[in-house]
Amino acid sequence: MSQARRLLGLCSGLLGGGLLLWSACRQTPSSSPARTAHYVGDSVCASCHEEIASHYQQTNKARALYPLTPDRVVEDFSGRQAIYEPRTGFYYRAFREGDGFFQEEYRLDEQGRPIHRLRYPIEYVVGSGNAARTYLYEENGFLFELPLTWYTQEGRWALSPGYERANARFFRPIPNACLGCHTGHFEPVAETANRYRSFSYGITCERCHGPGSEHVTRHRQGPYRPGAPDPTIVNPARLSRERRMDLCQQCHLESTVAFYREGKGPLDYRPGERLSDYWLVFVHPGSARHTVQVASHVERMQQSACFQGSSPPMDCLTCHDPHRPAREQGPAHFNRICRSCHEPARLSGTLPEAAHTPESNCISCHMPRIRPSAVPHAAFTDHAIPRRPLPPPHPLRKGSIGIRTPGAHLPGATPGARLPPL
C-alpha cells in the first residue's frame, strides 16, 4: 500500500473524515548550509554576536523551555490553591519546599482526611509565561507533563490543557512534536516515544540560522568578505518570503493532524529548505478561517488582506524582530507598521463606527486577543487582521480528506485536486 493511501486511511480512522488536500506548492529552490554541518550551541554563537544573543535571551522563543529555579518563579507556590478534578475525585496543588518545587495529587475520604498522596518534582517550565506555564519532570531520561498549569493572565492554577477531557495525571508523555516547538535541537532515543539523551533549552539561534559548525570554522580562519553572502550560515533576510515563512511555520502553523514524509523525521528539516519536503499537515476545511488556535499565527495572517495584497510583500518579519522581545517593541511599534500602509486620514469615514486618528490603536481593533477553545484561561492575538469582526465559526462538515503541505496556500501556489469523500 502506498504511503498516501496509508496516511489517508489512518487519518480517516482518527478523525472521521473532513480534511482537505493541497499539493506541495511551486516554490523557489532550497538554500541551506551543507549537510555536514552540526550544531554548536548558543554559547558559541554569543561569543561573536554578544549583543544580539543578549537581547534574544529575553524573547518568548528563548524562554520556550528551561529549568525551574527560584530566581524564575512567577507562580503562587504557597500550596493554598487546590484544584479538584470531579471525574476522578483527585485534588491537585503546587507547592515549594526549600529550593524544590512539586505538584501533588491527593484524595480525601468522606471526613476530609487524606487517603492518597502522590507527588512529583517540577523540573522544567514549558512556555514563556506570557500566557501560561506548563511543567515537566524527567525520570530516567523520559519526559512527562505535570497536571497543573499556571495561567499568567488570570494569575491562577488550573488543569493543563486537555486534562479536563482526559486526566493523564503524571504520566502524559512528551513526544518529539512537543520538543520540536520548544527546543532548538534534541536527541531522542530510538524506539521510544518520550526518552531523550539531550535537548536544548528554548529555541536556539541555530533553529532559524541552521547548524553553525562550518560557519564558526570559516570565521576562525579570518574575516569574511564584507557584505558578501556567507554560504555557511542561513540569513533569513536573504531567503525568499516562502522560505522565511517556513521557518516560522515550524511552530506557528496549526494542524488537525501532521505527519512527516516517508523517511523524514523531526530533526531532518534545516532552515532554507522547503518545509513541505518534510512535513504533511492535515486540516479540516475552513477551520482555520473561523477559529484561533494557540499556534495558528501564520495560517491566520496568510488569510489577511494585508498579507495577500501588501507591497512589498508582508511576512512575519515585517512586524516582528525575532531577536527582541515583543514587549520591548510594544503597541506603538506595531501601530507604526500599520500606518506605513494605512494613513489614518484616508481611513476616516471608511468605517462609520470607527474614528481613525493618528493616535488610534490599530492593534486593539484589528488584532484582538481571542481565547482559543483548546487552552482555557488564556487569550492570543488574532493575526487574521480582520477589517470587521469575523462571523462565528461554522460547524465542521464531513467531506473530503487529504493533505495540505506547509506553505501550499500562499499566493501563487497551485492547489491540488480535492479527493472524493471516503
For residue range 131-178, list pLDDT tens digits in order: 889 999 999 999 999 999 999 888 999 999 889 889 999 999 999 988
Distances in Å between the Cα of 271 and the Cα atoms of 9, 153, 210, 343, 412 are: 31, 33, 5, 36, 22
Instruction: Kindly state the percentage of the chain with pLDDT values over 70.
Output: 76
Distance CA 222, CA 415 (A): 48
Of 116, 53, 125, the C-alpha closest to 323 is 53
Range of lowest pLDDT (81-90, 267-276, 347-356): 347-356
> H or E element: which one contains 149?
strand 148-151
All three cell numbers of 344: 489614518
Instruction: Kindly state the percentage of the chain with pLDDT values over 90.
Output: 44
> H or E element: which one contains 124?
strand 124-126
> Is the full-model pTM beyond 0.85?
no
- At 32 the pLDDT is 59
Residue showing cell 489614518: 344
- At 21 the pLDDT is 37
Is 4 or 275 the better-scoring residue by pLDDT? 275
Tell me: pLDDT of 409 over 90. Answer: no
Given CA atoms 6, 243, 310, 337 in this order, what sign does their dihedral have? positive
- At 350 the pLDDT is 58
Tell me: pLDDT of 402 over 70. Answer: no
Distances in Å between the Cα of 274 and the Cα atoms of 244, 251, 281, 298, 314 are: 10, 15, 14, 16, 19
Of 409, 104, 98, the C-alpha closest to 281 is 409
> What is the pLDDT averaged over residues 394-409?
38
Q: Residue 91 pairs with which residues in a beta bridge?
A: 84, 106
Contact 216, 210 (CB under 8 A): no
Q: Where are the domains of the chain?
A: 65-199
All three cell numbers of 258: 501532521
- At 292 the pLDDT is 66
> What is the pLDDT averaged over residues 101-112?
95
> What is the pLDDT averaged over residues 251-261?
80
Residue 397: pLDDT band (50, 70, 90) is very low
Q: Where are the beta strands (DSSP E) in 249-301?
A: 257-260, 279-282
Tell me: pLDDT of 242 over 50. Answer: yes
- Running DSSP on this structure, what letter comes out for residue 41? -
Kindly provide the b/e burial profile for residues 267-288, where b requires at least 16 CB atoms within 10 angstroms of the residue's own CB: eebbbbbbbbbbbbbbbbbebb
First to last CA, the chain: 17
- Running DSSP on this structure, what letter comes out for residue 125? E
Range of lowest pLDDT (109-118, 237-246, 249-258): 249-258
Q: 3-state DSSP call for residue 332?
A: helix
All three cell numbers of 113: 482526611
